[in-house]
Amino acid sequence: MGSATVLPYITSQPVIPKPEQILHGTDTNRRLNVVCVGAHPDDPETGCGGTLSKLAAEGHQVTIVYLTRGEAGLKDGDAETAARVRTAESLLACELMGARAVFAGQIDGQTIADRERGQQFTALLASLKPDIVFTHWPLDTHRDHRNTAQLTYEAWEALGESFTLVYYEVMTGVQTHHFEPNCFVDITSMADKKRSAIYAHVCQKPERFYPYHEKMEKERGSVARHDRAEAFVVVREKLPKPYLPFEM
């Protein structure tokens, strides 16, 4: 991988108790640019809100890129109203996690991952100069999630693999499928902060789905030997060329 640093608390397979370096080669004491890409408001918070909060608390620059503003996220309300409400909730969630929000300008339920949008997204990521980028797992039931994963992967390759690419899960078994993590982060100390960030998305009625995410945290924690953990897939090699959907 092209980027270089160490996140000492990101561990490898749980049978190996000692931490693993997944970002390697740079000064571990410098401030990192961490980016998390989510298709909709609340995706990054539920998928890796604990890890993002932990990184921010350690002094790293954390930016959350929302591909959309959640325009389709209100049953009783038009797209403009939904975007306004969900943007405000995203800004509050980011404030709680110590992150800043960036909105990429696509529309909820209508996301596109073609060459033009790929070039635009690559330019956006390049401007953020990330050391590490978290994004959706490609095998997800939601098309917006899959498009987000594709755009991020294409940007990673187009930028010469200059950052470490990490996939997160969202409701594994319901939305995310065939997710086999190779890294775990202890988020025990950040569980309350993550919960607060999720509950900032009031319009989504988080009390309905938060218990599922809490259960996931505990299950991942039991595997990783922590009270609470988040699980990730760190990309080790890129896909063969024939499987890339378009050229940048």
pLDDT digits (tens, 9 = 90+) for 220-231: 999 989 999 999
Res 205 pLDDT > 70: yes
Calculate the alpha carbon distances from 228 to 29, 32, 178, 193, 196 in Å: 26, 24, 21, 13, 15
* Span 66-97, pLDDT tens digits: 999 999 988 877 999 999 999 999 999 999 99
Q: Cβ(52)–Cβ(44) under 8 Å?
A: yes
Supply angle C-alpha 124, 129, 133, rounded to 5.
80
> Which class is 32-243 in CATH?
alpha beta
Q: Cβ(40)–Cβ(108) under 8 Å?
A: yes
β partners of residue 164:
132
Percent of the chain's residues with pLDDT above 90:
70
Ranked by mean pLDDT, the top range of 2-16, 65-79, 125-139, 168-182 is 125-139
Percent of the chain's residues with pLDDT above 70:
83
Supply the pLDDT for residue 23: 43
Residue 174 has a CB neighbour count (10 Å cut-off) of: 11
**Mean pLDDT of all residues in 236-241:** 62
| Helix residue spans in the chain (DSSP H) | 43-57, 79-97, 115-128, 143-158, 191-199, 206-224
Supply the pLDDT for residue 31: 87
Q: Cβ(244)–Cβ(150) under 8 Å?
A: no
Q: Which of 43-47, 157-161, 201-205 has the lowest mean pLDDT?
A: 201-205
* Span 100-126, pLDDT tens digits: 999 999 999 999 999 999 999 999 999
Supply the pLDDT for residue 239: 60
**Mean pLDDT of all residues in 163-189:** 92
Supply the pLDDT for residue 171: 86
Residue 238 has a CB neighbour count (10 Å cut-off) of: 14
Supply the pLDDT for residue 164: 92
For the chain, domain boundaries: 32-243
Backbone angles phi, psi at 144, to 5 degrees: -60, -35
**Mean pLDDT of all residues in 219-242:** 83
Cβ-based burial of 32 (10 A; exposed 0-12, middle 13-18, buried ≥19): buried
Token code pair at residue 89: 């909730």
* Span 40-61, pLDDT tens digits: 999 999 999 999 999 999 999 9
